[in-house]
Amino acid sequence: MESTAALGRLPALALPVPVRQRGRVARVDYAGLTDEQLLGRVADHRDEDAFAALYQRYSRPVYSLIARLLRDRTTGEDVMQEAFSAVWRAARSYRQDRGSVVAWLFTIARNAAVDAARSRRPVSFGDPPESIDLEPTPDVRVAADMEAFRVHVAVDSLPRRERDVIALAYFEGLSQSEVADRLGIPLGTVKTRTRSALGRLAERLEREGVTS
Partner 1 sequence: VTDESELSRVEQMLRSTPPPLEVPEHLERAARGAALDPDVTRSRERRLARRRTLRGRLLPAAAVLTAAVAASLVIGVGGRSPSITVVQTVPLAARAGAASGTLQLGTIRGRMRPIVLRVQNLPAAPKGHYYEMWFGDGRKRIGLLPFDTTGGRATVVSAIPAGITWTACWVTLEDYHEGGTAPPVLSSVGAT
Query: Considering only residues 99-128, where is the footprint of partner 1 by CB under 8 A?
Result: 114, 116-128
The Cα–Cα gap between 38 and 64 comes to 22
Question: What is the total count of residues that contact partner 1 (CB under 8 A)?
Answer: 75
Q: For the chain, state the CA radius of gyration.
A: 21
Closer residue to partner 1, CB minimum distance, 28 or 47: 47
Residue from 64, 100, 176, 189 in contact with partner 1 (CB under 8 A): 64
Closer residue to partner 1, CB minimum distance, 2 or 135: 135
Does 80 interact with partner 1 (rule: CB under 8 A)?
yes
Contact between 109 and 65 under an 8 Å Cβ cutoff? The reply is: yes
- The letter for the amino acid at 98 is R
Does 5 interact with partner 1 (rule: CB under 8 A)?
no
The Cα–Cα gap between 10 and 51 comes to 19
Residue from 27, 45, 60, 161 in contact with partner 1 (CB under 8 A): 60
Q: Do you know the residue count of the chain?
A: 212
Please give the residues from 138 up to 197 whose contact with partner 1 meets the rule CB under 8 A.
138, 140-141, 144, 147-148, 151-152, 155-156, 166-167, 170-173, 195
**What's the closest the beta carbon of residue 61 comes to partner 1, in angstroms?**
6
Which phi and psi angles does 16 have, rounded to 5°? -70, 140
Contact between 64 and 153 under an 8 Å Cβ cutoff? The reply is: no
Q: Is the dihedral angle over the CA atoms 14, 56, 76, 162 positive or is it negative? A: negative
Closer residue to partner 1, CB minimum distance, 3 or 212: 212
Residue from 13, 17, 52, 187 in contact with partner 1 (CB under 8 A): 52
